[in-house]
A and B are shown apart, each in its own frame.
Chain A
Amino acid sequence: MATGEDTRSRILDAAIEMMDSGGEASIRIAAIAAKLDIAEPSIYHHFTNRAALVEAAYVEWYWRCLKPQISMETVMALVDTQEEYVDAIIKLMTWSYEKDRHAARAVRISVLGAAQRNPQLAKAINDINRQFLASVANSVKVAQKRNWVRSELDPVATAYWLHGQILGRVVAEMDECSIDLEHWNALSFEAVLTILRP
């Protein structure tokens, strides 16, 4: 038998799927209930109203697209020299920019876009960013102690700036016909290395 937690996450799955194909406006409670073969009131058992469901779906969607990242703690434990550190950063960025991760990049923009008009969602997203980017900021601190990264950089600002690179990639890839994405990647790598290297 499905547990309450299962049902909740299946509702979120269905909502995310609708959002993914038609945006927030396409989320229909009745359609979700029909799809999952449950009664509409059981959706309201998990989410007070449609707005609460939409918000929870955005947060979950955002979380999922960040989750598969290799943690920076792991990276820092694996590298012993500055050269290895730089190498690892470039590998992580190359991976973030891969074609099949386009959806993960676009979702971030979708959710951040929605958060501009929804202060409560913005707060939830800020919390996730803080949590996720704390490990990036920590890795900058560790690298600074080892003299691999310029000491004058503010670790938190650096972490947010680094993550911003991924958001900027979406602007370029929306127009793949006009812009050479390999050139764009090269620029981004160069910019990141310039900022980090002492």
Chain B
Amino acid sequence: MTNVSDTRTRILEAAMLAISENGEGAIRVQKIAESVGVREPSVYHFFKNREELVEAAHIERYRRSHLEMVRPFQAGAALADNAEDFRRIVKKILSLVYSAEREDIRSTRMSVLGAAQTSPKIAEAIRQINFEVSSKVAEVFATAQEKNWIRKEVDPLAAAYWINGQILGRVMAEMDKERVDLDKWNQISETAVSYFLFG
């Protein structure tokens, strides 16, 4: 038997899929209900209205877009044998974070963060996600610090937030590709990250 929280998750999954395929405008509550195999009123049992469903789906996309990058980072760091390996992992993850395929999800981040500035409810959800994600990254940094792979004077949590913040600057740059050479932008960001981690 599927329980209540499963149904909510499945509705959310369907909404996220619809957003990633055709954008937020394409979300139809009725279609989502159909694809999950529930009746339309059940959707409204979990989400007050279409707007609330869209909002929840954006927040969940925001969360996953971070975890998608944190997990390989954690795994890569766990497999690293020495400082050189660790450096390579950091570089690799950054290039994934800035990859062209992730432009849409980066744009979602900016959009959700934008909405959070005037909605305390979204801001609180985002604050929790940022903390969850940054703490995980900070933990990896702290372990690497113990092994002398990164500079002692770096505050792991501040570093994790700072790196996360780089992505917003990337979104602003890629909004205007005609004007900004993104490879050059990446180089600057990579140099900055590797300098303060490794000196």
Where the two chains meet, the residues of A that have a C-beta atom closer than 8 Å to any C-beta of B are 19-24, 106-107, 109-117, 122, 125-126, 129-130, 153-154, 156-158, 160-161, 163-165, 167-172, 174-175, 178-180, 183-184, 186-188, 190-192, 194-195
Judged by a CB distance under 8 angstroms, whether B65 is at the interface is: no
Asked if B161 lies at the interface with its beta carbon under 8 angstroms from chain A, I say yes
Give the contact-size bracket for chain B. 35 or more
> Does B110 sit at the interface, judged by CB under 8 A?
yes
Kindly state the separation between the CA atoms of A116 and B25 in the bound complex, as whole angstroms: 13
A110, A171, A179, A194: the one within 8 Å of B168 (CB): A171
Contact assessment for B166 and A111 in the assembled complex, using a CB-CB cutoff below 8 Å: no
Which stretch from B7-15, B87-95, B191-199 is at the chain A interface? B191-199
CB–CB B179/A22 < 8 A: no
List 9 additional contacts besides A116-B110, A174-B116; criterion CB under 8 Å: A111-B114, A129-B175, A154-B184, A161-B188, A163-B169, A170-B168, A179-B134, A183-B158, A186-B158
> A186 to B180, alpha carbons, bound, how many Å?
27
- Cα A129 to Cα B169 in complex, Å, equals 12
Known: A113-B111, A113-B117, A190-B196. A165 touches B127 (CB 8 A): no
B158: chain A residues within 8 A (beta carbon): 172, 179-180, 183-184, 186-187
Is B172 part of the binding interface, using a Cβ–Cβ cutoff of 8 Å?
yes
* B44 within 8 Å of A (CB atoms): no
Bound CA span A157–B111, Å: 22
Complex Cα distance, B158 from A21, in Å, reads 29
Q: How far is the CB of A96 from chain B (nearest CB, A)?
A: 13
Q: Decide: A183 and B155 in contact? CB cutoff 8 A.
A: yes
Whether B157 is near chain A, meaning CB under 8 Å from some CB there, is yes
Q: Are B181 and A156 in contact (CB under 8 A)?
A: yes
10 of the cross-chain contacts (CB-CB < 8 Å) are A125-B175, A126-B179, A130-B176, A161-B185, A167-B165, A167-B168, A167-B169, A172-B158, A179-B161, A183-B158
Chain B proximity of A159: nearest CB distance (Å): 9
Contact A160-B185, Cβ < 8 Å, known A23-B119, A126-B175, A174-B126: yes
Complex Cα distance A156/B184, Å?
9
A171 and B164 contacting across the interface, CB-CB below 8 Å:
yes
Given contacts A168-B165, A175-B130, contact A109 B113 (CB under 8 A): yes
Q: A167 contacts B117, CB within 8 Å?
A: no
List of A residues within 8 angstroms of B107 by Cβ: 116
Produce 1/0 per residue, B139-172, CB < 8 A to A.
Answer: 0000000000000001101110110111111111
